[in-house]
Structure 1
């Protein structure tokens, strides 16, 4: 019988720095989509279970290691901990751990890099820490969340991991070239 070894989408990738920006793969732990049933009141149960607020649309709550990311109408992605079993009474819980790849893009020019890939205003004045959006990242469906002053969490489908890295490297080089 073959021994199978779980690998991340960008297994073995060292962080890539071009100019002032660095892209690095991040492990988010367990990823669970939480879709409340019609009429369900999940916010209090979620807060009790995970110690963070249920996120409003286009917002994320929590911090590294335990984050709740708005992921679309009537859906939140819990990143980090296993979902508390009490949530199953109020929502459909679906393991998404193997479906996504996640990277952080950080650095002084991160907004300029993402301006080449994402059709949203990600300036600090408009897209503050804790803001999130489901959007296009170049030609891929993805998610962008500001997790720091100049740091963004980017997620795309696992099968697009290499493409995401390629597109980020090209955009980072473009920003440096215009320098």
Structure 2
């Protein structure tokens, strides 16, 4: 089935394809779920690869007054990770917990266990964020073109996290390894972030190509 806007009837290119499912003598649109960077990633340029991660859930955890320690204990028991300190992140298996602001953290991966609500406000943020991963020998150099924070291994170590800028966009940046970074960006900015990182990757690769061989 096709939907054609009144102003666009003359052009078949303006038609929008969608699928419908019969429901009680009417047709109901059946939506097709897509990730934030669907069709844009992965890309590899030079030594760096940019991919998208699609965690099952992203939950904001905000401990109640006097409950941070109790939340950390419950979080450790339920998900294997403790509530992080400022600018810190930790992971176990496919679950990561990451500091995301004053008295707040993101649980990324498995949905939050219901009993955590005894100790904190839980807010589902899954559809609000795009999760990108930058990996490779020159990943830090690529990211350094877009963020003002120091990414040296001495100052921004594995497990460190920072709320900062990626170009003109607010981002949460996590170092996940010696050559790896996970970047959370608002979902609406996924295409722009991908473009900015693509340009930075091309710039770093082009500069490396001009260097004389060792």
TM-score of the aligned structures, taking structure 2 as reference length: 0.81
Supply the distance in 1 between the matched residues of 2:94 and 2:57 (Cα, whole angstroms): 10
- Aligned mates of 2:72, 2:93 — CA distance in 1: 20
| Superposition deviation, residue 89 in structure 1 | 1.0
The answer as to whether partners of 2:162 and 2:173 remain within 8 angstroms in 1 is yes
| Equivalent of residue 164 in structure 2, options 135, 154, 162 | 135
Question: Distance in 2 between the 1:63 and 1:24 partners?
Answer: 20
Q: Distance in 2 between matches of 1:4 and 1:143?
A: 29
| Length, aligned pairs only | 179
Question: Match of 1:109?
Answer: 138
Matched, 1:168 2:197: yes
In 2, Cα distance between the equivalents of 1:19 and 1:150?
A: 14
Gap runs ≥5 in structure 1 = none
Q: Equivalents in 1 of 2:93, 2:74: separation in Å?
A: 21
Larger radius of gyration: 2
1:26 to 53, 56, 77: 53
Distance in 2, matches of 1:164 and 1:114, equals 11
Instruction: Return the alpha-carbon distance in structure 1 between the equivalents of residues 41 and 117 of structure 2.
Output: 38
Structure-to-structure mapping, 1:59-138, within 5 angstroms: 59-63=88-92, 65-138=94-167
| Distance 1:64-1:160 versus aligned 2 partners, 3 A rule | farther
Unaligned runs of 5+ in 2: 1-27, 209-214
Measured in 2, the distance between the counterparts of 1:103 and 1:139 equals 16
Whether 2:65 is the aligned partner of 1:38: answer yes
Cα distance, 1:64 vs structure 2 = 5.3
Q: Is the 8 A contact 1:13 1:25 kept in 2?
A: no
**With CA pairs under 8 Å and 6+ residues apart, which has the higher RCO, 1 or 2?**
1
Q: Secondary structure at the match of 2:85?
A: coil
Residue 84 of structure 1, CA deviation: 1.1
The whole-number CA distance in structure 1 between the counterparts of 2:40 and 2:170 is 22
Give TM-score, length-normalised by structure 1.
0.96
